[in-house]
């Protein structure tokens, strides 16, 4: 038996998310169907983690096992992508790994990006790829507030009510905020994230950037550990799974 890692890019706009679900179009299931068809054996893939409906990926990582050595990975990529590209999914790489490798459990860190388009005119080229905000955000305030969230905290206020994680304790290793012309890009890194944690953080930082909240207000939300104190989460279309670090 041989284990292969795949690096996947996808547009999550018209999908129910990464994980296979009944009566829904998931990224995982679409890839499994095509790999199974081409390799002529039922293929099950394990991803590094879930992404919700509408969330995109630049470098999702997953793995699958196959009984044979794949002699020409480039040919397989071309064959698989012939079908997947029609569904806005692309396998960028196939890498042979040791059988001890696991896409989820071997991951040391995960990195997400969130993109806000901060201008008056709505997006055309970036439609469904950014969060469009007309209200001007104060970058200095955003950076000052973000520092309060870095480190190990109880992020219960920042996770969805249906989050299944046993503990709300997470260590947020970094939040970078980059201004590129009309776009504000947030880069968040942690070993793992709670469900809706990134989108909830962005929603709260947006309130600070608009001066609806002070930095102290954000700190109070974090310390309260209560979900109903959190700002509305940012929409899914601005979120990207950007990198898995092993």
The per-residue DSSP string of 169-191 comes to: EEEEEEEEEEEETTEEEEEEEES
Between the CA atoms of 187, 193, 196 and 201, what dihedral angle is there, to the nearest 10 degrees? Answer: -50
* Active-site annotation holds for 52: yes
What integer is the mean pLDDT of 97-120?
97
Domains of the chain, CATH where assigned: 2-97 (3.30.70.580), 109-245 (3.30.70.660)
Q: Provide the pLDDT for residue 164.
A: 86
Question: For residue range 152-182, what is the model confidence (pLDDT) as tens digits?
Answer: 999 999 999 888 899 999 999 999 999 999 9
Distance CA 219, CA 154 (A): 12
Is the pLDDT assigned to residue 63 strictly greater than 90?
Answer: yes
Q: Provide the pLDDT for residue 145.
A: 97
**Within 13 Å and on the Cβ side, how many CA atoms surround 8?**
33
Question: For residue range 15-49, what is the model confidence (pLDDT) as tens digits?
Answer: 999 988 877 889 999 999 999 999 999 999 999 99
What integer is the mean pLDDT of 60-77?
95
Question: For residue range 78-101, what is the model confidence (pLDDT) as tens digits?
Answer: 999 999 999 999 999 999 999 999
Contact 211, 138 (CB under 8 A): yes
What integer is the mean pLDDT of 133-162?
96
What integer is the mean pLDDT of 135-146?
96
Contact 203, 230 (CB under 8 A): yes
The one catalytic residue among 11, 52, 65, 126: 52
Question: For residue range 167-226, what is the model confidence (pLDDT) as tens digits?
Answer: 999 999 999 999 999 999 999 999 999 999 999 999 999 999 999 999 999 999 999 999
What residues pair up with 89 in beta bridges, in sequence order? Answer: 10
Distance CA 140, CA 205 (A): 11
Contact 18, 50 (CB under 8 A): yes
């Amino acid at each position: 038996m041989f284990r292969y890692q795949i690096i996947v890019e996808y547009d999550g706009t018209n999908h129910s998310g990464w994980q296979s679900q009944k009566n829904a179009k998931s990224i995982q299931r679409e890839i499994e169907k095509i790999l199974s068809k081409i390799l002529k054996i039922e293929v099950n893939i394990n991803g590094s983690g879930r992404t919700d409906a509408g969330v995109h990926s630049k470098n999702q990582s997953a793995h699958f096992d196959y009984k044979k050595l794949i002699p020409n990975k480039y040919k397989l990529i071309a064959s698989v992508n012939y079908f997947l590209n029609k569904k806005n999914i692309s396998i960028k790489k196939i890498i042979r790994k040791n059988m001890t490798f696991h896409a989820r459990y071997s991951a040391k860190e995960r990195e997400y990006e969130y993109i806000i388009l901060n201008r008056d005119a709505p997006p055309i080229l970036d439609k469904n790829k950014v969060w469009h905000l007309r209200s001007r955000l104060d970058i200095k305030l955003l950076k000052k507030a973000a520092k309060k969230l870095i480190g190990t905290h109880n992020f219960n206020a920042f996770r969805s009510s249906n989050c299944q994680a046993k503990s709300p304790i997470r260590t947020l290793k970094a939040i970078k905020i980059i201004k590129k012309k009309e776009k504000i890009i947030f880069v968040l890194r942690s070993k793992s994230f709670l469900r809706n944690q990134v989108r909830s953080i962005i929603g709260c930082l947006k309130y600070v950037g608009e001066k609806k909240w002070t930095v102290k207000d954000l700190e109070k939300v974090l310390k309260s550990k209560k979900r109903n104190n959190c700002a509305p989460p940012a929409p899914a279309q601005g979120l990207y799974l950007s990198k898995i670090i092993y």
